[in-house]
Amino acid sequence: MTEARWRPDDTHEIAELIKDIDICMFVTRSNGSVRGRPMSNNGKVEFDGDNWFFSYRDSPKVAEIEADPRVELAYIATDQGTWVSVEGRAEIVEDDARKRDLWEPDLEAWFHGGPEDDRIVLLKVRAERIHAWARGEELVVEPGAGVQRIES
């Protein structure tokens, strides 16, 4: 499968919207339902179509992603009038160098073992379609197709 690629022009506007929201609802197709839990995407990371999260290997969401990788990331800042829906596919990444690179001290509240802990994996969510409502505008962004503005 040839994958359409994200270009910086596609993602720049979305990056600006979500960089300060940080915590999203990470929604999986779980057995029999659609299930969300709040997760931080590490605000510092430059958004290029990929969202990175830390998770324990044995958490239910990892099993859910292995069974069905389709996920939704819901970024909501109602007080700012910003809602961003990221549809994508999640992948489990076990890469120690990447874990150290993405690690932030704040994460120690959830992951006491730090980035060296083998029980901790990365979840990479590659966006396939992004729909954003912000500043009174509505945008749909898809890799290769650029930013489409919807009149409402």
Does the protein bind a second copy through residue 72 (CB under 8 A)?
yes
CA distances in angstroms from 25 to 10, 83, 115, 147, listed in the order given? 22, 12, 23, 23
CA angle (98 as vertex; 1, 11 as ends), nearest 5: 55
Does the protein bind a second copy through residue 77 (CB under 8 A)?
yes
75 half-sphere exposure, CB direction, 13 A CA radius: 25
Nearer to a second copy, 79 or 97 (CB): 79
Nearer to a second copy, 13 or 142 (CB): 142
Read off the amino acid at residue 88: G
By CB under 8 A, name the one of 85, 91, 124, 140 that touches a second copy: 85
* Size of site (CB under 8 A) for a second copy: 32
By CB under 8 A, name the one of 19, 29, 98, 124 that touches a second copy: 29
Q: Least distance (Å) from a second copy to the CB of residue 94?
A: 24
Picking from 107, 36, 45, 42, the residue whose alpha carbon sits closest to that of residue 74 is 36
Q: Specify the stretch interacting with a second copy by CB under 8 A; choose among 5-13, 42-50, 94-102, 128-136.
A: 128-136
Q: Which two tokens stand for residue 28?
A: 């999986």
Read off the amino acid at residue 112: H
Give the strand pairing for 70-77 and 82-93: antiparallel
Does the protein bind a second copy through residue 27 (CB under 8 A)?
yes
Kindly list the residues in this chain that would bind a second copy in the complex (CB under 8 A): 21-25, 27-30, 32-38, 70-72, 74, 76-79, 83, 85, 87-88, 128-129, 131, 133
